[in-house]
Amino acid sequence: MSAETAPFGFEDVPVGEKAARVEAVFESVAGRYDLMNDLMSFGLHRAWKRFTTCIARVRPGARILDLAGGTGDLTARLAPEVGRDGNVVLADVNRSMLERGRARLIDRGVAGNVHYARCDAERLPFPDRSFDRVLIGFGLRNVANRARALTETYRVLRPAGMLLVLEFSHLTVPALQRAYDVYSFSVLPALGRVVAGDADSYRYLAESIRRHPDQEALLAAMRETGFERSGYHNLACGIVAVHKGYRL
């Protein structure tokens, strides 16, 4: 992959083209996104998100950025924790996902301390040192330039602020790899076709996971960006990992 291309599944495409293709994926799946999350993870994504918000150690009055926040699952957990004096910004580059997230949160009565921003993770429209926490849930692998997105998260964090990246990762139990591949490349696209009417988007999901850096590679990228006291937690045998790092 050259500096002018980015991975879109198993393809390498021009950077600008990746952004457009990812936009099309989420425009297609937005209406069934939450149902598909429940089905394809057997509901486990809820526990993974709960774990992530727990280790964020959010305090009342904190200012939080839920980046690539989609339909707002993390924001729904964070907003009560920051309280009336705090603030959560739900940010996503995709309009349909952001609108769905806003509607879901309002329906659940989550309002007053939540704001919304349509923005690109590589060019955040926030001043330096704006947030106490930045969380990215299942979104980092979709950006065209991962290093730039990490640099932006570092820029907008306050001193002692924490970045948390919840993302699909690489299995730590090799004996499970064959079954995981069958599920990823056969079951997921079929499920996407039946439930969301879109097999290709869920084939992209499986491919994008395989192209995403493994746990140690992402940890190294965070450290190179400047994050300190960095580490990660494997969940579900490494199917998912939560990386964290601080701007000190």
For the CA atoms of 66, 157, 221, 120, the dihedral, rounded to the nearest 10 degrees, stands at 50
pLDDT at position 230 over 60:
yes
Q: Give buried/exposed letters for 83-112 (b at 16+ CB in 10 A, else e).
A: eeebbbbbbbbbebbbebbbebbeeeebee
Q: Give the per-residue pLDDT at 172.
A: 97
pLDDT at position 9 over 80:
yes
194 Cβ neighbours under 8 A, 6+ residues apart: none
Q: Which tokens in the block code for residue 24?
A: 């099309």
* DSSP element (H, E) containing 45: helix 44-56
- The pLDDT tens digits for 152-208 are 999 999 999 999 999 999 999 999 999 999 999 999 999 999 999 999 999 999 999
- Tell me how far apart the 2 most distant CA atoms of the chain are, in Å: 49
In order of 101, 138, 192, the CA distances from 33 in angstroms are 11, 12, 10
Q: Give the per-residue pLDDT at 7.
A: 93
All structural domains of the chain: 5-247 (3.40.50.150)
- Residue 176: alpha-carbon gap to chain centroid: 24
Q: Give the per-residue pLDDT at 2.
A: 46
- The pLDDT tens digits for 96-137 are 999 999 999 999 999 999 999 999 999 999 999 999 999 999
Give the amino acid at 8: F
DSSP symbols for 49-106? HHHHHHHHT--TT-EEEEET-TT-HHHHHHHHHH-TT-EEEEEES-HHHHHHHHHHHH
Q: Give the per-residue pLDDT at 98.
A: 96
pLDDT at position 1 over 70:
no
DSSP symbols for 137-161? ES-GGGSS-HHHHHHHHHHHEEEEE
Q: Give the per-residue pLDDT at 3.
A: 56
pTM of the model: 0.95
Cβ–Cβ under 8 Å, residues 68 and 139: yes
Q: Give the per-residue pLDDT at 154.
A: 98
Residue 16 — pLDDT band, cuts 50, 70, 90? confident
Q: Compute the distance between CA of residue 128 and CA of residue 161 in angstroms, rounded to an integer.
A: 12
Over range 71-78, report the average pLDDT. 97
Q: Give the per-residue pLDDT at 33.
A: 94
- The pLDDT tens digits for 17-74 are 999 999 999 999 999 999 999 999 999 999 999 999 999 999 999 999 999 999 999 9
